[in-house]
Amino acid sequence: MKSCIATLTRFVVLVFVVLAVVPAVEAADRDKLLSEPGVYGTFASYSLDENWGKQDQAVRIAQLTVLKGVVEQHREKLAIDVYLLRGLSDHADLLFRVHAIELRETQQFLLDLQGSLFGKHLTGSTIFSGLTKKPNYVPGMPDNIKAELKVSSDPGPKPYVIVIPIRKDADWWSLSQEQRGAMMQEHTEASLPYSKTVKRKLYHSTGLDDLDFITYFETSRLEDFQSLILALEKVKEFRHNRRFGHPTLLGTVKSLDEIIEVLAQ
């Protein structure tokens, strides 16, 4: 019985949403935004207010259609990903990751999102941004490590997402380039055994918020992810983290349609 209603809801949601997005928009060059240096990545997480769940399902579906419309409208310039944190993280319910060439474009998207009928139910936002950069190989980095780093992680779904913000201590920045490089090589070597099952991405956020780095992880094997973090905690570089997490965001990777389905129920 319950699953019948779920199926019906799913159908209704999809119909509404499809109808709402008739004028197809040209998508940003998502691949480029997600792989090139010089791109701003913004992580914006929100909780749903207490009124969200008290509304009729029809009202919620209408508002989710607006959400879909706002996202589609900005896909021309931005790469937008959504994640479900509720149930795994007490920090927020939803996480948006937005990649843009100009942070102003991201601001416009989040303004439109927060100003929409759906956005009126979003509270307690947390926003931090960082910049992607070319990997800065240490001069003496052995070629085999460089080669391994270029191997991408195994294909296939990686349902779990983890975001860990990092702030280094003042000692870190006062080290010489060589000293930092040597520590980063040790860090990199420690992470190699997990490069196939844990996908990583790094954002430089110094000055843009109260962080130095945003580290982003996707995996289907949380145990491997935990082993990776334990390995990283054992290298010298880890001692220079003044803040590691706080918050650590743990959630699941979802398509926008999946998020809409979850929130419609």
Is residue 104 annotated as part of the catalytic site, yes or no?
no
Q: What is the binding site for a second copy (CB under 8 A)?
A: 38, 40, 42, 44, 49-50, 53-54, 84, 86-90, 103-104, 106-111, 114-115, 119-120, 123, 125-129, 131, 159-160, 162, 164, 170-171, 173-174, 204, 206-210, 222-223, 225-226, 228-230, 233-234, 236, 238-239, 241, 245-248, 250, 252, 262, 265
Give least dist CB 142 to a second copy, A: 23
Give least dist CB 159 to a second copy, A: 6
Considering the complex, state which of residue 126 and residue 153 has its C-beta at the smaller distance from a second copy.
Answer: 126
| DSSP label at residue 206 | B
Considering the complex, state which of residue 53 and residue 142 has its C-beta at the smaller distance from a second copy.
Answer: 53
The backbone torsions φ and ψ at residue 256, rounded to the nearest 5 degrees and listed phi first, read -60, -40
Considering the complex, state which of residue 32 and residue 120 has its C-beta at the smaller distance from a second copy.
Answer: 120
Q: What's the CA gap between 195 and 228, in Å, rounded?
A: 9
Say how many C-beta atoms besides its own lie within 10 A of residue 162's C-beta: 23
Do residues 82 and 92 touch, judged by C-beta distance below 8 A? no
Considering the complex, state which of residue 88 and residue 184 has its C-beta at the smaller distance from a second copy.
Answer: 88
Catalytic residue, candidates 200, 221, 239, 242: 200
Beta strands in the chain (DSSP E): 40-48, 79-84, 94-100, 122-131, 160-168, 198-204, 213-219, 241-244, 249-254
Give least dist CB 177 to a second copy, A: 9
Q: What is the DSSP string of 141-171?
A: --HHHHHHHHSPPP-S---EEEEEEEEE-HH
Do residues 243 and 78 touch, judged by C-beta distance below 8 A? no
Give least dist CB 182 to a second copy, A: 15
**Is residue 93 exposed (0-12), middle (13-18) or buried (19+ Cβ within 10 Å)?**
buried
Give catalytic residue positions: 200
